[in-house]
Amino acid sequence: MVNAKVVSRFQGAPTRENGGLIQEGPLYPVDEVCQLLDSKGENGVVLWTRDCLRDAQNDGLDCALVADLLRTAVKHGRYKNSQWCEQKPDGPWAACDAYTVICREWIENAGKEMDFEYYLKFAINKHGKCLLVVSCHTSRD
């Protein structure tokens, strides 16, 4: 157990035990995530960690594209798990849902469409006004 501020709507006691996994889940209903994206669009998406910002930049993703990926992931992707995530050492915590989704994209250098698996991890903030995105990158498996 750790003592830290929880900024997600899902509350509880953050832990690093068992990889921070939360047994119940998904924590955030698909309809609620989609409604938030419908009402706020890219303005409702916060790339919440340095790693997420770096990965989004490396993959050429802005907040609008991340919002599209989130919508696709919760509607058509695969729920993986829920887990506690810390923004930075000794920083705030968020209870997140993790999804994977396969997207077909045109690759200019290959001259064809290819499938890419994306991994996304996010939480709805405490006030229900934005999605805190902890991870958004192509699969590293």
Q: What is the DSSP string of the chain?
A: -----B-BSS-S----GGGGEESS---S-HHHHHHHHHHHGGGGEEE-SHHHHHHHHHTT--HHHHHHHHHHHHHHSEEEEEEEEESSTT--EEEEEEEEEEEEEEETTTTEEEEEEEEEEEEEBTTSS-EEEEEEEE---
Please, which pLDDT band fits residue 2 given cuts at 50, 70 and 90?
low
Please, which pLDDT band fits residue 3 given cuts at 50, 70 and 90?
low
Share of the chain above pLDDT 90, in %: 74
The pLDDT tens digits for 66-84 are 999 999 999 999 999 999 9
The pTM is what? 0.91
